[in-house]
Amino acid sequence: MPNIVIFVDFGSTYTKAVAFDIDEERIIGQGLSESTVSSDIAIGLKSALQQLESNAQQKCTKEATMRLACSSAAGGLRLAVVGLVPNLSLKAGRMAALGAGAKLVENYSFKLNHSEIVQMEQASPDIILLVGGTDGGNEEVIIHNAKMIAGSNTRASVVVAGNKVCADDVTNILESANKYVKVVDNVLVSLDELNVEPSRAAIREVFMNRIVHAKGLDKAGELVDGVIMPTPMAVLRAAEVLAMGSGREDGLGESVIVDVGGATTDIHSIAHGHQKDFGILMKGIAEPFAKRTVEGDLGLRYNALSIVEAAGEVRILRNGVRPESLTELRDKAKYLSEHVETLPTSQIDFRLDNWLARIASEIAMERHAGRLEQIYTTQGPIYKQTGKDLREVRNIIGTGGIFAHSSEPAKILEGALFSNEDPLSLRPQSPEFFVDRRYILYAIGLLAESAPEKAVRIGKRYLERVSRETGSD
């Protein structure tokens, strides 16, 4: 009897399922169906599982010893960060929330005012991450903000990760207004100590124990044992375990994941990104080893036009579009933004999708990666680095529908690479290319919770290595 485990991803458009034979460490079936979160999530799930069983040619759902899910459905995990200084605690809070797979709906710095509270009520986040003040630092602002949140109509759970000195006061203020509160260690202990893990864990816990129910994701109760994390967190977990390995199974080394979707482009980097030379000066607060960024303006459908706009003419022309075709490109992208269900059918359609994905990868990676800046001192020029130096990252992995279907995934990933046109942008220089053809990274992340070694091996087995086309660029 094979030992079967099933993993499910409730996406906003599709519900995906995959079954592994965990002893043989292989995929035995996959299924896909349209998501049905707005009515009954179980309908779409059942149909995905049926498809899975039919191509696995055996009963999986009943036999499975473990059935776990992640979700980005029902709007994803909507989170607002309330912090103090934009470049310090607010930034630390944002990085922690993104690393927990959240979708950031609002950010606020300094003392909240009434109109911001109204705006936040309208944005209706599932979670508010309340930070501010290093340990022993500012107390006034986080206490003020706790009072403002306490006085608001928000039903969001509040994760508090600010100055420990006033953590008890903040908790009391929020609890006496009947808000659900979870307190963890400060996300910014001191200016040189970023501490994202406790916030990530708390956000995940609140997601599992409260949000899943609130969004009706637990209606699939008989078919899955639990929805245990937001999908982007599962992908980040997969990236971590694949890069670092586990137990006796070696990882691939420092890696970057490029996830180009219909609405957003996510970049995950698992890398220290320290400066490569002692002469380079590091600026700004540290960034997490496992870092995720989300570009809300770069997506192949909802934000197709916005990709063209973000690219600008110079970049577009540099990427092979003739000046006389600019208007046509813009019109086509606009059409895709307005008809998001469009699937490519012709060679021209595919080419456009690939082109958009390449540009999205390029811009998203530029924003994610660190940057050097040359400055002139009285002792001569030196370099200042902000963010992570990813030039020596060993692997770059593409995931998302475009990579599952594209005939030229390498061309898309090449967009994310270091370029002599902008040598101060610290993007990967000569990584190996991999593609998540089977669309299973989320499952690798979910499996890593209980069997990380197996997760690494299965991930390595099913990631497809693609070669860079010679002569391009």
Q: In 106-251, which ranges are continuous DSSP H helix?
A: 114-123, 140-150, 167-175, 197-206, 212-214, 231-244
Least CB distance from residue 86 to another protein, whole Å?
8
Q: Tell me: does residue 195 bind another protein (CB under 8 A).
A: no
Among the listed residues 23, 34, 136, 222, the single contact to another protein using CB under 8 A: 136
Q: Tell me: does residue 85 bind another protein (CB under 8 A).
A: yes
Q: Tell me: does residue 93 bind another protein (CB under 8 A).
A: no
Rounded Cα–Cα distance for residues 21 and 442 (Å): 17
Helix, strand or coil, per DSSP, at residue 256: strand
Q: With b meaning 16 or more CB within 10 Å and e meaning fewer, what string describes 307-326?
A: bbebbeeebbeeeebeeeee
The β-bridge relationship of strands 281-283 and 4-10 is unpaired
CB-nearer residue toward another protein: 148 or 365: 148
Beta-carbon contacts of residue 183 (< 8 Å; ≥ 6 apart): 159, 160, 161, 167, 170, 171
**Touching another protein, residues 213-242 (CB under 8 A):** none
**For another protein, which stretch binds (CB under 8 A), given 45-53, 135-143, 254-262, 320-328?**
135-143
Q: Tell me: does residue 424 bind another protein (CB under 8 A).
A: no
Among the listed residues 71, 72, 89, 199, the single contact to another protein using CB under 8 A: 89
**For another protein, which stretch binds (CB under 8 A), given 19-27, 55-63, 87-95, 363-371?**
87-95
Q: Tell me: does residue 333 bind another protein (CB under 8 A).
A: no
Q: Tell me: does residue 134 bind another protein (CB under 8 A).
A: yes
CB-nearer residue toward another protein: 164 or 237: 164
Beta-carbon contacts of residue 333 (< 8 Å; ≥ 6 apart): 304, 305, 307, 308, 352, 356
Among the listed residues 120, 188, 229, 444, the single contact to another protein using CB under 8 A: 188
Long-range CB contacts (within 8 A, 24+) of 446-450: 446/7, 446/68, 446/69, 446/70, 446/228, 446/229, 446/234, 446/237, 447/5, 447/7, 447/20, 448/237, 448/238, 448/240, 448/241, 448/246, 449/68, 449/228, 449/237, 450/66
26: which strand partners? 21
Q: Tell me: does residue 139 bind another protein (CB under 8 A).
A: yes
**For another protein, which stretch binds (CB under 8 A), given 50-58, 137-145, 172-180, 337-345?**
137-145
Cα Rg of the chain, angstroms: 23
**Touching another protein, residues 358-417 (CB under 8 A):** 375-379, 382, 384
Q: Tell me: does residue 189 bind another protein (CB under 8 A).
A: no
**Touching another protein, residues 254-293 (CB under 8 A):** 281-283
Least CB distance from residue 187 to another protein, whole Å?
12
Least CB distance from residue 372 to another protein, whole Å?
13
CB-nearer residue toward another protein: 39 or 87: 87
What are the percentages of helix, strand and coil residues in the chain, rounded to 5?
A: 40, 25, 40
Q: Tell me: does residue 88 bind another protein (CB under 8 A).
A: yes
Binding region for another protein (CB under 8 A):
84-85, 87-89, 132-134, 136-139, 188, 190-192, 281-283, 375-379, 382, 384
